[in-house]
Structure 1
Amino acid sequence: MGRPTKQELTEALAEAARMREQGQDPNHIAKSLLNHDYRLKLLEQLYDQVEHYLRSGQSSTEHSKLTRLMEKVRSEERHPGLDSH
């Protein structure tokens, strides 16, 4: 098994979007894939921002950016899907 290639992931996400648009997602697999992709990208942004914050000497500007991104992640946890797509 293993990770999908970039091409495979692109194709899977496109198919998931098509399935959702056409109402062909009876088991919510496409919805789940799209949501997980969105959340993974959000968490990757958070990781990058934490790294930047630490490298910046923990500046107040970078702290503010990190705080805003953390709130976005929290908001997604409280209200899944409102910020996605």
Structure 2
Amino acid sequence: MNKHNHHRIATITIVCACLASLAGCVSSSTSRVTVQEGVKFSKGRELDDLVKAYDAQAVTRSEYEELRQVIMKRPN
């Protein structure tokens, strides 16, 4: 696996974790999928993971800043 693939996987993982932490109880009459409870991570843990990904050069500075803003804007 090359560096680009590691970067892509790390980015996707972080984005999925952010989205999962934002998920609550979601249901749609047009959808066959119902999410009953989202995985919850503390902001501190997410920020620590994001810093580790940045330090490992898995995300760029702009991706880091964008993801950091997403984490900080969500409610506790």
TM-score scaled by length of structure 1? 0.37
Q: RCO (CA 8 Å, sep 6+): is it higher in 1 or 2?
A: 2
Q: Which has the higher helix share?
A: 1
TM-score scaled by length of structure 2? 0.40
